[in-house]
Structure 1
């Protein structure tokens, strides 16, 4: 017996005998005190478990990527065998070579496949986090033969809590309302909440759906994850979600439409992974669906972003238990325990297939990048971003492209280039491009993503449209699923040229975000902040609120041979309180502004006789309020709040609707009402006293800014603006079907002399993403009513994206930006949400003009 025990111990040490399935001491329950699915795990509990695994095993290394807006750490776990951990640098270097064949050959015989698995980017979609944490437990603690094989053949990066702020908000809500046993009734208060709270639990701190933020990175949750993903270049990217509680588990392959430039590598491997998922679910006797609802046309979901990075980006959608349990319409109760087990089952199958078919996966991955580079050697060869744009937004664009793994170069000298087309696809032939322009070569690994982001148009596949039309006519969702146009040149209002020329260019590499602003120059008379700089208006706000005199020119002009745009901010050097120079220098640095010092007030050209003339107007101090809570649309509220609070640092009072009736609004210069789910519900929530207080405040000089369906609220319930609904028939009993435009860009016409248009050299191309179309009243012209920006009168269709004929027929001449004076105040109305997702930067200036300049203009 003694010799037998020695032999067994020796065999065990050599790994010949399997160890116990897993260590009970490192089980999730042993660390946090409850089983998976017994309680909604907070981000802290998940992080505590991850830290325990890193400390107690040799299979886990944690990466601290950053923090959320609310200060919660964004932690990812790198899980692989101890031998692989000893050579992570080597594996990472090979991953880089596979992701960029220009770096040289990559030996794949000993290279593990790299997977990135992310969970619950929508906070109250719980099971993704829990299912991936359960997989993490198995990978870190089990000594089963198949697990050891997976660890040898893969590097699994698990980022289990993509949205810790949203998750913890819902966890606290549920913990406070749970009884001795979970109540599965949909009416139990642990499962029942209004639309405002639902979106609050789904989203991040500023009510953003960060699953749409993967190219723009407006939020830290996406921006701070970019370095790890770019360092590891995973072959597989998985995003674990939930959907309605009556649905079964969804996995790819997806349905149509497919983006024309979507990578073939991902599309081909959808089938292989889909078959593996189906086998696993069939064996477990679990129901599932595929090729249903979800598509890969829009490029900024987690999964589509992963595919455009060269990986197989895949989606899991589990029918939700909402909290710990939810009764379905068929009487069956779905529990969190069941939901997370299915997420675990799918993720486990992904790891298994990646390990078994590692060589094919790595080989095809490399070939996909070779094909991407080759594609860039024909057709459009490069894209050029000129300096004819807001300098700050241009610099942010370059930094954004670099975070996405896209190489950016800079022209070192003026260069004449042929084969050019403009940002709308119109051929312009040969032009001289100025030194300092940014060049993106198409022949690079991120070629597909470059084309998806910078091409003017991504046509919706023709064979998809008839089916979508049939759904519309039946009153169903057409399954566009998201916007149909997102071209960065249009979104950011950049001058971008595409070139078919492959001529060699005098360029140098751009390393990091380009420097924009400079030191504050001397000025005897005034400093000028050119109007094309959006943030100049924010700087003007801070200067005026600090007690300094500031004025704005609604006219373009020239001074000392330099052109200045409408909306230029004038800060006079004389007769100012002390500290002006230091305050202005800090603002110039903060906002990356270019300031110009001038020694006199004379101008030349344009419509401005002098810097101190009557054509300019002085800025008043501004105090901004923003309405919140149900039935406000939380997305729209969050986008407005983020623009004011984060993008431009404007102090904003967020006011609850029920507080309006008892609040002295006279202390506010501007009140912003974002989009609402329902104008009648908004009126009911404010009550007669609240609405009367707003109307009286406007007439006494208040500046009301309304967005989206709040335009209808101001029109029908406050009765402050005079617009006509283009869908209303002549007969009030006539029922007209409203058609929604799914995020398409249209040409506009602009009153360039109006203060609201300050900063725009030409009428912008604007996005329509709704069914709201308003026409100006058929009344004699009046200076009290101004359609500042209209959709073009000669409108044949969208510049980019899709729109149904019924919408295109009603859009010409329709109002995009409306100003109406009411007593001593005014209302500024935007039927479309100009703060859309924080990345429609082209019209930031329009919103800031309305909010900051409105009280003074």
Structure 2
């Protein structure tokens, strides 16, 4: 980071009065009020001319065309070099070697080394619930909130970047009262481009196939990890995340239901009533089409709006502009929402800082009392279908007495610590009268010394609950993403919670180091078969590549169906076949490729597949496991499965694991079952997240390992490496790659494999489908809604529930699909109380 000490211009000095203690200890007066007549958008910009225009640097004005990643970086660095109000730096480096550039903008004394240190220190004090009231009041009177503007987390949604650069130029050079208002009352961090690789590739995901707007809590990608590290240095009171969607309209909050129950209520008030109201007034005044309270929820704790809100008590907001509009219009409207939001925050500076501190105090008091926030509905006539239980939660515990789980446990602890969560460790055993182990009934337990203790009596109470919860308590059956993400369940580690008032003997834990990458033993020659170039295959293969390259350090060869047909499988010992559409891959393999796969496996190859890879194995006659299309609604949910301890896949896993499932095929097998769903009425049956009709999974297989000639097929019904953060089942996958062969068993009869192949061939193939499930009484109305938008669907019935599945062959996310985003409101307007609405 470079600090600049150039002279503050006379015009700007007259407009801006220092509101923070200056270096050297002298205290400056509080910021002068900007005249009420200063209209943030109606004031004519006045530029000093120190910062060259985009055209002078790039040869075009921002918005005339999309700036490249390199052009964005060049203009950001030019502004930083020319303006004493701006310092710049690099958050991270992408897989393809591109820098993630940011700029910090403020008055010169704020962006000096000492000024920035003081802003960070004061922000830390305001986030600390233990800060005395008198000191917090002084900080709120004289301090500044930190406001973030970011864009382009999805690489094919570019206009937020160009808009953010316009904001950077204006704050770096303008002297009029509208710019002065922001500069006098805020420090602004601008991250124009969160996904430069995706921008250059014109893909939604990054170079590893990750949707980085789903990666915020796990931080698997360096782009996300660097951003979160910076956010913890400069914690936001406002976080803007600029996107694009289909159509021509504009979305800004208020959000759609559901909203996660631990989202701070005061932050929701800011989002809806401070920023949402200001933007609605400006868009109405200018006659710009917009909508809100639809499509975009605030539930999954991995988004660029939900994580800033829950973890930092910020107003985290997603802005979406329709990509059918001309590019200049997209940039203009993103600039407008960014400028209006920054201006509103500046106008409410003291109130925001006061309430920001109060949120931390309230969170601490809730944690001390063991009170969880209730579920709420923000958009009637929606109704809460599942309330948050009334059980008190004062502490969470993570056990560390299983050496095989140590890496997973410490990964969770480190993630918590790096988000400002205090973690302690028991010095002596602790008897807990109401210990509730994950997925088990409450009971008395004695936890050993060395167990990690996370008290809820912290300013980060909301984030602790979001990360360590047993269940997300989905309030409303609309799903834009997954419904379960508990880190202990994803890691398959032992732990639980208590609501009792305890007196533990514990010591604080220093921030743990990152796990050392690598694998055990000698690696076999590995091939990875990518079934297609579609989104589902790109993501599943990308998640695996991340594990191989960055964590397990396993070399591999990427193959296509055409490569298999051409004989390039020779020499491979283990072939991994991730998810993807099977019919196209089956056709692309041709007779030669299909024969090569069968022969290779029977001659001693190890075929490891999941989802589409499992279906392909069944079609090729490599298993007797049968697959059936699900009749339940499971839109991204964690289920406990039993694990066969005699299997080589079970090493370090334990007798149970938590399996992430999302509308995956139901797999049945009479032999070779490694992991299976318990009977629904057994003590082992446990679910985290939403499900309707999941009883069909009871007693079925999650993972099978069967002989195929001298080889074997290891097949997972669901993705074992979901977003590279389902560490518990990823260990099953790791063992499937590197572990020994099981004891030999009889090769299954040909008739059984033929039956499995026939059933697999009959399975439907969907790419990112839209799913609507309603009760039979509402079926006619639901079909009418689907017809009204021109949908074509497959229909099935299970008991009293009718399921509609709309294929989405281009893999479009809901907000880019022609009608998917409108379905929830259309269903509501039709008077339907849905069982589930699941959008891609």
Q: Could you say what secondary structure the match of 1:765 adopts?
A: strand
Corresponding position: 1:145 with 2:183: no
Q: For residue 597 of structure 2, what is the aligned residue in structure 1?
A: 694
Q: Could you say what secondary structure the match of 1:633 adopts?
A: helix
Q: Select the residue among 330, 336, 341 that pairs with 2:327.
A: 336
Q: Could you say what secondary structure the match of 1:288 adopts?
A: coil
After superposition, the Cα gap between the structure-2 partners of 1:18 and 1:810, relative to the gap in structure 1 and judged at 3 Å, is closer
Q: For residue 192 of structure 1, what is the aligned residue in structure 2?
A: none
Corresponding position: 1:305 with 2:307: yes
Q: Which runs of 5+ in 1 are unaligned?
A: 1-8, 171-200, 327-333, 469-478, 518-534, 543-620, 728-736, 778-784
Q: For residue 109 of structure 1, what is the aligned residue in structure 2?
A: 141
Q: For residue 76 of structure 2, what is the aligned residue in structure 1?
A: 50
Q: For residue 356 of structure 2, what is the aligned residue in structure 1?
A: 365
After superposition, the Cα gap between the structure-2 partners of 1:830 and 1:59, relative to the gap in structure 1 and judged at 3 Å, is same
Q: For residue 39 of structure 1, what is the aligned residue in structure 2?
A: 65
Q: For residue 754 of structure 1, what is the aligned residue in structure 2?
A: 647
Question: Equivalents in 1 of 2:400, 2:267: separation in Å?
Answer: 36
Please say if residues 243 and 320 of structure 1, whose CA atoms lie closer than 8 Å, have aligned partners that are also in contact.
yes
Q: Select the residue among 78, 97, 100 that pairs with 2:125.
A: 97
Encode CA deviations 1:11-34: one digit per residue, 9 max, x unaligned.
898569999435285112211222
After superposition, the Cα gap between the structure-2 partners of 1:487 and 1:19, relative to the gap in structure 1 and judged at 3 Å, is closer
- Using the TM superposition, give the Cα deviation of residue 514 of structure 1 relative to its aligned residue in structure 2, in angstroms: 5.5
After superposition, the Cα gap between the structure-2 partners of 1:689 and 1:436, relative to the gap in structure 1 and judged at 3 Å, is same
Question: Equivalents in 2 of 1:440, 1:61: separation in Å?
Answer: 37
Q: Could you say what secondary structure the match of 2:656 adopts?
A: coil
Q: Could you say what secondary structure the match of 1:225 adopts?
A: helix
Q: For residue 208 of structure 1, what is the aligned residue in structure 2?
A: 210
Corresponding position: 1:656 with 2:560: yes
Q: For residue 586 of structure 1, what is the aligned residue in structure 2?
A: none
Question: Equivalents in 2 of 1:110, 1:260: separation in Å?
Answer: 33
Q: Could you say what secondary structure the match of 2:672 adopts?
A: strand
Encode CA deviations 1:21-54: one digit per residue, 9 max, x unaligned.
3528511221122222333222221111111111
Question: Equivalents in 2 of 1:795, 1:541: separation in Å?
Answer: 43
Q: For residue 271 of structure 2, what is the aligned residue in structure 1?
A: 270
- Using the TM superposition, give the Cα deviation of residue 629 of structure 1 relative to its aligned residue in structure 2, in angstroms: 4.1
Q: For residue 550 of structure 2, what is the aligned residue in structure 1?
A: 646
Number of residue pairs matched? 675
After superposition, the Cα gap between the structure-2 partners of 1:15 and 1:139, relative to the gap in structure 1 and judged at 3 Å, is closer
Encode CA deviations 1:70-102: one digit per residue, 9 max, x unaligned.
222222211112243353322222211111131
Q: For residue 258 of structure 1, what is the aligned residue in structure 2?
A: 259
Q: For residue 243 of structure 2, what is the aligned residue in structure 1?
A: 241
Q: Could you say what secondary structure the match of 1:792 adopts?
A: coil
- Using the TM superposition, give the Cα deviation of residue 757 of structure 1 relative to its aligned residue in structure 2, in angstroms: 2.4
- Using the TM superposition, give the Cα deviation of residue 55 of structure 1 relative to its aligned residue in structure 2, in angstroms: 1.1
Q: Could you say what secondary structure the match of 2:449 adopts?
A: coil
Q: Select the residue among 680, 703, 713 that pairs with 2:606.
A: 703
Question: Equivalents in 2 of 1:264, 1:683: separation in Å?
Answer: 51
- Using the TM superposition, give the Cα deviation of residue 793 of structure 1 relative to its aligned residue in structure 2, in angstroms: 2.4
Please say if residues 541 and 622 of structure 1, whose CA atoms lie closer than 8 Å, have aligned partners that are also in contact.
no
Q: For residue 397 of structure 1, what is the aligned residue in structure 2?
A: 412
Corresponding position: 1:78 with 2:104: yes
After superposition, the Cα gap between the structure-2 partners of 1:20 and 1:810, relative to the gap in structure 1 and judged at 3 Å, is closer
After superposition, the Cα gap between the structure-2 partners of 1:77 and 1:636, relative to the gap in structure 1 and judged at 3 Å, is same
Please say if residues 63 and 328 of structure 2, whose CA atoms lie closer than 8 Å, have aligned partners that are also in contact.
yes
Corresponding position: 1:724 with 2:725: no
Q: For residue 498 of structure 2, what is the aligned residue in structure 1?
A: 499
Question: Equivalents in 2 of 1:269, 1:19: separation in Å?
Answer: 27
Question: Equivalents in 2 of 1:53, 1:743: separation in Å?
Answer: 44
Q: Could you say what secondary structure the match of 2:570 adopts?
A: helix
Please say if residues 643 and 655 of structure 2, whose CA atoms lie closer than 8 Å, have aligned partners that are also in contact.
yes
Question: Equivalents in 2 of 1:410, 1:240: separation in Å?
Answer: 40
Please say if residues 624 and 668 of structure 1, whose CA atoms lie closer than 8 Å, have aligned partners that are also in contact.
yes
After superposition, the Cα gap between the structure-2 partners of 1:690 and 1:633, relative to the gap in structure 1 and judged at 3 Å, is same
Q: Select the residue among 49, 53, 56 that pairs with 1:23.
A: 49
Question: Equivalents in 2 of 1:12, 1:253: separation in Å?
Answer: 35
Please say if residues 703 and 855 of structure 1, whose CA atoms lie closer than 8 Å, have aligned partners that are also in contact.
no
- Using the TM superposition, give the Cα deviation of residue 66 of structure 1 relative to its aligned residue in structure 2, in angstroms: 2.4
Please say if residues 610 and 717 of structure 2, whose CA atoms lie closer than 8 Å, have aligned partners that are also in contact.
yes
Q: Could you say what secondary structure the match of 2:130 adopts?
A: helix
After superposition, the Cα gap between the structure-2 partners of 1:366 and 1:794, relative to the gap in structure 1 and judged at 3 Å, is same
Encode CA deviations 1:307-351: one digit per residue, 9 max, x unaligned.
012333433343443xxxx5xxxxxxx222111111111111110
Q: For residue 383 of structure 2, what is the aligned residue in structure 1?
A: none
Please say if residues 561 and 588 of structure 2, whose CA atoms lie closer than 8 Å, have aligned partners that are also in contact.
yes
Corresponding position: 1:131 with 2:131: no
Question: Equivalents in 2 of 1:262, 1:756: separation in Å?
Answer: 39
Q: For residue 839 of structure 1, what is the aligned residue in structure 2?
A: 725
Corresponding position: 1:764 with 2:764: no
Q: How does 1:166-245 map to 2 (within 5 A)?
A: 166-170=198-202, 201-244=203-246
Q: Could you say what secondary structure the match of 2:166 adopts?
A: helix
Please say if residues 238 and 316 of structure 1, whose CA atoms lie closer than 8 Å, have aligned partners that are also in contact.
yes
Please say if residues 645 and 652 of structure 1, whose CA atoms lie closer than 8 Å, have aligned partners that are also in contact.
no
Alignment RMSD (CA, Å): 2.5
Question: Equivalents in 2 of 1:66, 1:276: separation in Å?
Answer: 34
Q: For residue 691 of structure 2, what is the aligned residue in structure 1?
A: 803
After superposition, the Cα gap between the structure-2 partners of 1:19 and 1:742, relative to the gap in structure 1 and judged at 3 Å, is closer
Q: For residue 527 of structure 1, what is the aligned residue in structure 2?
A: none
- Using the TM superposition, give the Cα deviation of residue 770 of structure 1 relative to its aligned residue in structure 2, in angstroms: 1.8
Q: For residue 65 of structure 1, what is the aligned residue in structure 2?
A: 91
Question: Equivalents in 1 of 2:329, 2:531: separation in Å?
Answer: 36
Q: Could you say what secondary structure the match of 1:743 adopts?
A: strand
Please say if residues 255 and 296 of structure 2, whose CA atoms lie closer than 8 Å, have aligned partners that are also in contact.
yes
Encode CA deviations 1:675-701: one digit per residue, 9 max, x unaligned.
01x211111222222222111211211
Please say if residues 128 and 241 of structure 1, whose CA atoms lie closer than 8 Å, have aligned partners that are also in contact.
yes
- Structure (1 or 2) with the larger CA radius of gyration: 1
- Using the TM superposition, give the Cα deviation of residue 852 of structure 1 relative to its aligned residue in structure 2, in angstroms: 2.0
After superposition, the Cα gap between the structure-2 partners of 1:624 and 1:659, relative to the gap in structure 1 and judged at 3 Å, is closer
After superposition, the Cα gap between the structure-2 partners of 1:680 and 1:149, relative to the gap in structure 1 and judged at 3 Å, is same
Question: Equivalents in 2 of 1:722, 1:627: separation in Å?
Answer: 23
- Using the TM superposition, give the Cα deviation of residue 162 of structure 1 relative to its aligned residue in structure 2, in angstroms: 0.7
After superposition, the Cα gap between the structure-2 partners of 1:855 and 1:430, relative to the gap in structure 1 and judged at 3 Å, is closer
TM-score in terms of structure 2 length:
0.77
Question: Equivalents in 2 of 1:307, 1:241: separation in Å?
Answer: 17
Q: For residue 347 of structure 1, what is the aligned residue in structure 2?
A: 338
Q: How does 1:488-637 map to 2 (within 5 A)?
A: 488-513=487-512, 538-542=519-523, 621-627=524-530, 629-631=532-534, 633-637=537-541
Encode CA deviations 1:586-626: one digit per residue, 9 max, x unaligned.
xxxxxxxxxxxxxxxxxxxxxxxxxxxxxxxxxxx443434
- Using the TM superposition, give the Cα deviation of residue 358 of structure 1 relative to its aligned residue in structure 2, in angstroms: 1.3
Q: For residue 439 of structure 1, what is the aligned residue in structure 2?
A: 453
Question: Equivalents in 1 of 2:15, 2:130: separation in Å?
Answer: 40
Q: For residue 614 of structure 1, what is the aligned residue in structure 2?
A: none
Q: For residue 398 of structure 2, what is the aligned residue in structure 1?
A: 385
Encode CA deviations 1:353-375: one digit per residue, 9 max, x unaligned.
00111122111111111100000
Q: Select the residue among 420, 438, 442 that pairs with 2:435.
A: 420
Question: Equivalents in 2 of 1:11, 1:74: separation in Å?
Answer: 33
Q: Select the residue among 605, 609, 615 that pairs with 1:712.
A: 615
- Using the TM superposition, give the Cα deviation of residue 161 of structure 1 relative to its aligned residue in structure 2, in angstroms: 0.7
Please say if residues 152 and 192 of structure 2, whose CA atoms lie closer than 8 Å, have aligned partners that are also in contact.
yes
Question: Equivalents in 2 of 1:446, 1:660: separation in Å?
Answer: 51
Encode CA deviations 1:282-308: one digit per residue, 9 max, x unaligned.
222211110111111211111100001
Question: Equivalents in 1 of 2:355, 2:515: separation in Å?
Answer: 41
Corresponding position: 1:154 with 2:169: no
Q: Could you say what secondary structure the match of 1:391 adopts?
A: helix
- Using the TM superposition, give the Cα deviation of residue 704 of structure 1 relative to its aligned residue in structure 2, in angstroms: 1.0
After superposition, the Cα gap between the structure-2 partners of 1:260 and 1:318, relative to the gap in structure 1 and judged at 3 Å, is closer
Q: Could you say what secondary structure the match of 1:826 adopts?
A: strand
Please say if residues 318 and 339 of structure 1, whose CA atoms lie closer than 8 Å, have aligned partners that are also in contact.
no
Please say if residues 12 and 19 of structure 1, whose CA atoms lie closer than 8 Å, have aligned partners that are also in contact.
no
- Using the TM superposition, give the Cα deviation of residue 126 of structure 1 relative to its aligned residue in structure 2, in angstroms: 0.5
Question: Equivalents in 2 of 1:854, 1:240: separation in Å?
Answer: 48
